[in-house]
Chains A and B, each alone.
Chain A
Amino acid sequence: MEKSTMNEALLGVLAFGLLCAPAGAADTNWLIKAKRVYTADREPIEDGWVQVGDGRIRAVSAVSPGGGFETLEVDAVTPGLIDLSVRIDLGFDSVEQSTETPARLEVENALDLWDPRFERELRSGVTSVLVSPPDRAVIGGWSVALKTGGPPTLERRRIAGRAALRAAIGDEPSDGNRPAFFQPDSFYNRRPTTRMGVEWVLRKAFHDALAARSDAARATSETQVYEEVLSGKAPLIVSASTTQDIRTACFLQREFKLPRLILDAAAEAWKDPPMVVASGASVVLPPLTFGGRGGNDFAFHSWNSAALLHERGLTIALSGHNALERGERLAAQPGLAMHAGLPFDAALAAVTINPARMIGIDGRVGSIAVGKDADLVLWDGKPFEPSSRIVGVLLEGELVLDPRTAK
């Protein structure tokens, strides 16, 4: 209370110079002192300092940058975590099912930013997420990269509007379809009803887009969308869990030379790593569960899959699927992967800089670097260790979880 009054007084003094300073802007100025600053894209800094001003990282150094801001002292600081596979949507209202390829649609128009699951992610350290349309269409449309907190408007929370195009291979996209006997009674009387059909829809989409390159008459608003993926302007994030679905995705990559393929929920990617390596795809792993089998189509997810794929040189990201279980949350995933052999640095990268790079939002988030958003997680011990807790979360400099009261 006293601090905020003081800061308001300070703000009053600064107000002449800061015409557009939002209310409470002074609360986004902090000095963080940590025994270790894990930058995620460079070497960690022992006994380091991170200076936060106006929502951004102003300085990262081994000596105090000063600045007169209030100091938060913690054991460790990491970048805010990033989850490319949260499913915080409105269910069937977030995916168009009247066609198998509603590719032009943007899922950002079909989300609930008041959904309390966003805040739960935020308070457990996840500051950025990729939200995709549910996998009920083969090409479900554009996924959106969002911050998990802040005013609930797209203008304020959106990091990238067309961050990736979402596709799905497997059982889910064809699940509701059925052949028509006698008279069709629904728009679900259609193909695909099988995995082969799903593959055909995907191949046709990119085939049409390639054809449109040489014949303008064949260009449609949909082929324009696929062209963005073919040209590498946007990544294609494909949900593919089982080996057969991952193979389909890799064949698709080979045929159409997709420059930026992301395999999501790729539980069985560990079964044939050379195939995935050859495709140049990066991989988002589903949450490691205690049961072994999980995710789509009961794919078998091995505990050491993250370590195994990392050793092969693949770029991996871990995900939490906004699970309710404490042990399945994103912040718990690196610990589980480390338990099965993934080195700490790779585990940290897999929840920060890797996912940021995969969807091209690393200019703003993903590491502790000067000029990036001050999305930070504060720990009371070594990050991801079972004995460590998240004691603080900053989102664009705003203290969402306060380490002074969390202890």
Chain B
Amino acid sequence: MLLTALLSTVLAAAPAPAHPIATDAFAIRARKAYIGAGPAIEDCVVLLDGGRVREVGRGVRVPDGTPLVEYDGVLTAGLIACGSYDGIASGTTDPTRAYLPEARIADAFAPAHPDFGRLLEAGITSVLLVPRPENVIGGVTALVKTSGGTIVKRDAQLAVALSTNALLFNREPTSYSQALMQLDEMLARPKGTLARAKAGELPVLLQVGPEHEISRAIGFARKHGLKGTLFGAELAGEMAAEIRESGLAVVFHPLWFGSDRRALRSVVALSEAGVPFAFALHAPDRSPEALRISAALCVRAGLPLEAGLQALTANAARIAGVADKLGRVERGLSADLVVWSGDPLDLSSRPTHVYVDGVLAHAAPIPAPVKD
């Protein structure tokens, strides 16, 4: 730790090198890297070209003339917040209509909103924007980058809230049974996004809460052959066998230091059952740090470190339907990379350099210690 601090100090004290521009090939060397599945790679080199990763691994040869940037830090793929409300100042829900299957959040956010800068500083390079679960069908989610607000996937999922939050007292439906009946009727003659969901082209994001809502959502997905993810299913781990059978993935609400042990154990149990999962963030209501802390708390409760990291990267990308573009440090994927001052799930670590599409989008080298 002391050594790291000293080395970082040296790095920080050195004059900042002219950074290579993204479209050129260049290389990054990090002390350690988590590139996707599997354990960390020591002394890892990543070759980048045209905003993508060209090669990655220990001992990858850097061609002559290719600039090399060296970091005494830990490299990971950019984190993905699997559910957040950033960049949408207001009007995230429509209380007058319960069903908005053609509403697209991609059309309703501000790409340059300052929310995104805060995510970037926390090492979050992509965010799944979701409608709040206050309509039975809230609309279509989108995956966007936090640097520049580029839309990676415009139609990520169809958000369906089989949740008490979507049952208002003064709007039809007021009951679970009516919501289910109306959804059944819509899916009997599906149009637009519902037709695509039924055909398996558009996954669903089933926004749920307690066990009975999870169970109802699983039954609903099974009945109509829908694929996708349970969102907010805090106690999913207690129903792991049923969820695994359903083929649905899970996104957990962000956890925090006061989180119930039962919720932490639920994440560990779901992981042990082999169900892919990720974490939502719910920024700007929650601190961007809540994403990383969620995984860290689960690791403290018994989740393997790699599973915790994958929930923030590879599995989040898979759930958002962008595993072919993001989530791992792998040949052909976008060069969304984060260099951390230490292990990414250590509380004392922080992102020092964040690359999005090979461009250094955020840099915050550790300042030199203040001298007396």
Contacts and interface: CB of A to CB of B under 8 A. Distances in A.
A290 interface: no
B174 A97 contact: yes
Contacts of A113: 211-212, 215
Interface in B127-185: 164, 167, 169-178, 180-181
A109 B216 contact: yes
Contacts of B172: 96, 98-99, 187
Contact of A186 (B170, B178, B219): B170
Given A90-B164, A102-B175, A109 B211 contact: no
B210 interface: yes
A94 B177 CA distance: 7
Contacts of B215: 113, 152-153
A64 B215 CA distance: 43
B174 A112 contact: no
Contacts of B174: 92-93, 95-98
A369 to B, nearest CB: 33
B167 A93 contact: yes
A95 B179 CA distance: 11
Given A90-B164, A104-B181, A153-B215, A110 B176 contact: yes
B327 to A, nearest CB: 34
A256 interface: no
Interface in B193-249: 210-212, 215-216, 219
A107 interface: yes
B269 to A, nearest CB: 16
Interface string A211-231: 000000000000000000000
A20 to B, nearest CB: 17
Interface string A129-156: 0000100000001000000000011100
A188 interface: yes
Contact of B212 (A105, A114, A133): A114
Contacts of B216: 109
Contacts of B219: 154
A154 to B, nearest CB: 8
Contact of B170 (A96, A102, A106, A188): A188
A391 interface: no
A153 B218 CA distance: 11
Nearest to A153: B215
Interface in A81-97: 90, 92-97
Contacts of A108: 177
A131 to B, nearest CB: 12
A377 interface: no
Nearest to B242: A153
Nearest to B176: A110
Contacts of B171: 98, 187
A52 interface: no
Contacts of A141: 177
B176 A109 contact: yes
A8 B190 CA distance: 50
Contacts of A93: 164, 167, 174-176
B170 A94 contact: no
A97 B211 contact: no
A152 B215 CA distance: 9
A111 interface: yes
A105 B181 contact: yes
B206 to A, nearest CB: 15
Contacts of A96: 172-175, 177-178
* Residue among A105, A111, A115, A153 with max Cβ neighbours from chain B (10 Å): A105
A93 B176 CA distance: 6
Interface in B231-276: none
A114 B210 contact: yes
Interface string B291-327: 0000000000000000000000000000000000000
Nearest to A110: B176
Contacts of A153: 215
Nearest to B184: A109
Contact of A92 (B175, B180, B212): B175
A105 B177 contact: yes
Interface in B317-340: none
A114 B213 CA distance: 10
B160 to A, nearest CB: 15
A105 B103 CA distance: 28
Given A104-B181, A109-B180, A186-B170, A97 B175 contact: yes
A38 B87 CA distance: 68
A129 B56 CA distance: 62
A53 B9 CA distance: 75
A16 B211 CA distance: 35
Contact of A187 (B170, B180, B212): B170
Interface string A167-182: 0000000000000000
Contacts of A186: 170
A188 B169 CA distance: 10
B210 A105 contact: no
A90 B212 CA distance: 10
A154 B180 CA distance: 15
A154 B169 CA distance: 26
A113 B215 CA distance: 9
Nearest to A105: B177
26 contacts: A90-B176, A92-B167, A92-B175, A93-B164, A93-B167, A94-B176, A95-B174, A95-B175, A96-B173, A96-B175, A96-B178, A97-B174, A102-B175, A102-B177, A102-B178, A104-B181, A105-B178, A107-B177, A108-B177, A109-B176, A110-B176, A110-B177, A112-B212, A113-B211, A114-B210, A187-B170
Interface of A: 90, 92-99, 102, 104-115, 133, 141, 152-154, 186-188
**4 nearest A-B pairs in the assembled complex, by CB-CB distance:** A98-B172, A110-B176, A112-B212, A105-B177
